């Protein structure tokens, strides 16, 4: 949970009703479900973060408490926990920090800001699903995907997520 001032980024998805971007896990590995990718015939593109009501986030409204359109569930309550703090998705707030602000506050930045940087095996598991596989870590710290020192940015600076804008609403219609 971020105790500091709010720094929300407006949603850039066409026709989406949400007021600000809210990170939702898009892969089973993001919520610690590493075993799913090893299942025969598992298609990661069909995986969706689920609510305790068993419906995916795409069946929940993009605004308010995110009520479910498929049942009487009044709000999205994640059926998964954060790998870093063991709390639910709804206990978190998406916010953006600049590298300069993190440096000024004495907070980790650059390579030290990567998930679980202080525990290499857990870091590798978060990035690749395998404790001994540091290939992804090396590629984002030394390879062609290297994390470059960031230029000055604010909440209106586009974030390159690696895909093109779509008119699809991440929470459904």
**Does 87 share its domain with 18?**
yes
**Does 9 share its domain with 35?**
yes
**Which pLDDT band, with edges at 50, 70 and 90, does 149 fall under?**
low
Contact 29, 127 (CB under 8 A): no
**Does 34 share its domain with 117?**
no
- The pTM for the full model equals 0.57
**Does 103 share its domain with 67?**
no
Contact 33, 78 (CB under 8 A): no
**Which pLDDT band, with edges at 50, 70 and 90, does 163 fall under?**
very low
Higher-confidence residue of 96 and 6: namely: 96
- HSE (side-chain half, CA atoms, 13 Å) at 157: 11
């Amino acid at each position: 949970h971020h105790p500091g001032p709010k720094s929300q980024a407006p949603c850039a998805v066409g026709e989406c009703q949400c007021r600000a971007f809210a990170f939702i896990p898009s892969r089973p590995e993001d919520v610690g479900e590493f075993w799913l990718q090893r299942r025969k015939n598992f298609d990661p593109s069909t995986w969706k973060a689920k609510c305790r009501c068993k419906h995916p986030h795409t069946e929940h409204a993009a605004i308010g408490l995110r009520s479910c359109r498929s049942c009487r569930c009044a709000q999205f309550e994640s059926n998964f926990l954060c790998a870093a703090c063991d709390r639910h998705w709804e206990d978190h707030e998406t916010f953006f920090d600049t590298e300069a602000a993190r440096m000024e506050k004495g907070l980790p930045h650059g390579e030290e800001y990567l998930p679980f940087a202080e525990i290499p095996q857990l870091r590798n598991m978060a990035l690749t699903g395998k404790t001994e596989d540091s290939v992804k870590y090396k590629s984002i710290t030394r390879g062609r995907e290297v994390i470059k020192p960031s230029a000055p940015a604010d909440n209106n600076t586009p974030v390159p997520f690696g895909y093109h804008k779509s008119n699809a609403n991440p929470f459904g219609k």
